[in-house]
Amino acid sequence: MAEAPSLSAALLGSVLSLGVPPDLGAQMAELYRVQSNLLRRRRLREMVERDQRRRRYLRRRRTFLLSSLAGILSLIAGTRRPVWVVDRSPGQNLWSVAEKFDDEEWKSQFRISRTTFESLLEQLGPAVERCRTNFRAPIEPRRRLAIALWWFARPGEYRAIADMFGVGIATVCLIVRQVTAAILDRMYQNYVSLPSGDRLDQTIRAFKDRCYPQCAGAIGGTHIPIAAPRENPDDYYNQGGWHSVILQAVVDQNLCFTDVYAGWPGSTSMASVLSSSDLYLKAEDRPDGYLFPREKSIMSEGVEIPVHLIGDQSFPLKPWLMKGYGPNHQLSAEQRRFTYTLSSAHSVVDTAFTRLKGRWRCLLKKREIDVSMMPRVVAACCVLHNMCERLGDHFLPEWNVDVDPTAMRQPDAEPYQGDTYCTAEVIRDAITYNLLNILQY
């Protein structure tokens, strides 16, 4: 730094000796000082940045060495850290007792047989299994599935289930959501679908044995109780005087659900729920207005009678959806016979709903769950119901013995008033007055 003034003086002297004006020499000296300052600042900045890069490198190196050492020590020690785990030995003992249930007690408690449980575990195990960490061992898939089934089958609170299975309250809530998602992701498409091909032929024959022709299933609705939601609670308040969401479902001859649509607020009419469903759009978007293949139709007195669903008075009359005659009309003997026959075949819906709610009591009581989650829970219960029916895991009548018939009484169905004379009316009249001949096909 001491050389700068002398260098400036020498430069100034040389300039003066060449006869350069003094002002120009002063300007050149000032320019030299500015450039020197810029050069020193640049060098200082480079030194600071180099020092910062060196410190970052040392930090990363130290972190890598420490993490590697911790991983090696954890593999060598292989010990659990009890400080991270709450002691829940009473719940673990209860789960250990449950594992030792005989087949009858197991089905009584979990609502499915041990064989069905093992089949369900095989399908869902990989989806609900969690990785082991250095902090604790994960809850095994078997216990996760048991916790979810217990929640589906019992009206108990999260706290009671948590104590019984030796887990936290929040863990129960999380497991229920995980198992529900796994059921819908891995099983729904295989267990819930409208009949087609050979299944459709079997369904038509089965309803024909019930004295109703050309039927591919019965459609109905039921209300599922919920706690009053924070947003728009009045929309969920049904005519029965309680909050609910609506489950619309199609049921086949085996009491299995072939179409499920759930989640609409309890104050909504069944006709409105139907009109917003994929089932309705699938039928109405077809050019011929039929839901099932037209080649399955039959002719009677010049009228084409398609394969269709059957419903009650709360649904509209469509070529793909038949219903009986309303009580407001003076009915002929043929019309009364048709209405009685259709109602008898339609009874599979009530039976299926009774079994669904009797097996999975979470659909009978208001649960501590967000209303947005309830449609997924309902759909998952329908999948489990179908699985049990297919595997011959029979419903036990005693599951409905303690159900109070006056509690959560289903609201009366609101008859649909928008029917007009159309093609569907012609089809219904053809079936009505040619029922015996059609049954002989």
- Cα–Cα distances in angstroms (integers) from residue 288 to residues 259, 280, 419, in the given order: 21, 14, 19
- Cα–Cα distances in angstroms (integers) from residue 295 to residues 6, 47, 214, 307, 423, in the given order: 109, 85, 12, 9, 18
Q: Position of tokens 């011929």?
A: 288
- Of the candidates 433, 412, 407, 415, the residue with the CA atom closest to the CA atom of residue 305: 433
H helix or E strand, kind and range, residue 200? helix 198-209
What integer pLDDT is reported at residue 405 of this predicted model? Answer: 56
Q: How far apart are CA 191 and CA 331, in angstroms?
A: 40
Tokens of 246: 């609506």
Q: How far apart are CA 310 and CA 218, in angstroms?
A: 5
Q: How far apart are CA 356 and CA 224, in angstroms?
A: 11
The pair phi, psi for residue 157, each rounded to 5°, is -85, 165
Q: How far apart are CA 273 and CA 271, in angstroms?
A: 5
- Of the candidates 368, 372, 369, 352, the residue with the CA atom closest to the CA atom of residue 360: 352
3-state secondary structure of 251: strand
What integer pLDDT is reported at residue 368 of this predicted model? Answer: 75
Characterize the bridge pairing of strands 215-225 and 244-251.
antiparallel
What integer pLDDT is reported at residue 56 of this predicted model? Answer: 85
Q: What angle do CA 50, 66, 83 make, to 5 degrees?
A: 140
What integer pLDDT is reported at residue 74 of this predicted model? Answer: 67
Q: How far apart are CA 403 and CA 367, in angstroms?
A: 16
**Residue 293 near residue 415 (C-beta atoms within 8 A):** no
What integer pLDDT is reported at residue 393 of this predicted model? Answer: 94
pTM: 0.77
What integer pLDDT is reported at residue 16 of this predicted model? Answer: 47
Query: pLDDT (tens digit, 0 to 9) for every residue of the chain, 441 residues total?
Result: 445 445 454 544 554 455 556 666 677 777 878 888 888 888 888 888 888 888 888 888 888 888 888 777 766 665 554 444 455 544 445 677 877 888 888 898 899 999 999 999 999 988 888 666 555 667 889 999 999 999 999 877 788 888 888 888 888 999 999 999 999 999 999 999 999 999 999 999 999 999 999 999 999 999 999 999 988 999 999 999 999 999 999 999 999 999 999 999 999 999 999 999 999 999 998 877 789 999 999 999 899 999 999 999 999 999 999 999 987 778 999 999 999 999 999 999 999 999 999 999 999 988 778 899 999 999 999 999 999 999 999 999 888 876 665 566 899 888 998 887 789 999 999 999 999 998 887
3-state secondary structure of 319: coil
What integer pLDDT is reported at residue 77 of this predicted model? Answer: 60
Mutual angle of helices 169-186 and 141-153, in 10-degree steps? 90
Tokens of 294: 């037209």
Q: How far apart are CA 273 and CA 286, in angstroms?
A: 20
